[in-house]
Amino acid sequence: MIDVGVNLTNKRFDKDRTELLVRAKKKGVEQMLITGTNIDESKKALALCQFYQQQFPNRLFSTAGVHPHDADGVSDDYIAELTRLAEQPQIKAIGECGLDFNRNFSAPEQQLTVFQAQIELAAELNMPLFLHQRDAFEPWFNKLKPYVEHVPAMIAHCFTGNKHELEQCLSVGMYIGITGWLCDERRGQSLQDIVSIIPLNRLLIETDAPYLTPRTIKPKPKSSRNEPSYLPYIVAKIAEITALDPSDIACQTSINARQVFNLPL
């Protein structure tokens, strides 16, 4: 299995990051992508990949980007900074980038400007886009659609949208990232109702750790912190809903991730 979205720079992992990676390996998580959410976090993500390269060779990779929450805080040279980061072999996508009109931690107009710049950068560098969207589907999709043929892949990270939105994403060949949101009987029912629509060759799995701990874990873990070793619970829920074999889901999503992010075997 490959976890394509882990916030491994989060301070909640500071005390046991190495042990966490060992646990994930034991549960069959062969590789993971650390999410970069602003320039500093993208640098930290890259540094973790480099730090662990000897202990866990070809195991950790990362993205570099500016999350919409951080759009107001960008420096004048943030695109140049992202370009320099993207030169490093561990950086496999531009993002997490997109639009979030739910919380508007950054002004919507600035979010649009920063998102557009990162889309153009991904096209220029021929890199995938790792995408965030909340309560902003139409402007988000309209920004992306002209670039579908100009970037190698688009990944709808932590997809929680409706059927119409899912169908639009699939119509342009996007990959769909499914998280522990699917395992939440309170919030995840609408996603459970449509996850079967996703073709297996367009499916990616991710924990978004330390967030979105699967509520299907029994017994319930003492800590609310999610971690990559819980990825099998997401696979199990997809299998339960779709009647696909869990091993087929694990295998094909790994093939997809290696193709999308150009990961080594």
Domains of the chain: total: 1
135 dihedral zone (left: phi>0; alpha: psi -120 to 50; beta): left
Domain that includes residue 37, residue range: 2-261
Residue 10 has pLDDT above 90, yes or no: yes
Mean pLDDT, residues 225-238 taken together: 98
Contact between residue 35 and residue 7 where contact means Cβ atoms under 8 Å apart: yes
CA distances from 166 to 105, 174, 175, 201, 253 (A): 25, 9, 10, 15, 18
Strand partners, 103: none
Q: How far apart are CA 93 and CA 62, in angstroms?
A: 7
Quote the mean pLDDT of the chain.
97
The angle at the Cα of 33, spanning 108 to 43, to the nearest 5 degrees, equals 65
pLDDT of residue 214: 97
Q: How far apart are CA 192 and CA 198, in angstroms?
A: 11
- For 105, the token pair is 């931690």
pLDDT of residue 141: 98
Q: How far apart are CA 10 and CA 261, in angstroms?
A: 22
Task: Identify the CA nearest to 79 among candidates 69, 88, 66, 89.
Answer: 66
CATH code (residue 228): 3.20.20.140
Mean pLDDT, residues 179-187 taken together: 95
Q: How confident is the model at residue 120 (pLDDT cuts 50, 70, 90)?
A: very high
Residue 201 has pLDDT above 90, yes or no: yes
CA distances from 58 to 50, 251, 253 (A): 10, 18, 18
Q: How confident is the model at residue 237 (pLDDT cuts 50, 70, 90)?
A: very high
Q: How confident is the model at residue 265 (pLDDT cuts 50, 70, 90)?
A: confident
- pTM score: 0.97
Q: How far apart are CA 265 and CA 255, in angstroms?
A: 10
pLDDT in tens, 61-89: 999 999 999 999 999 999 999 999 999 99
pLDDT in tens, 146-169: 999 999 999 999 999 999 999 999
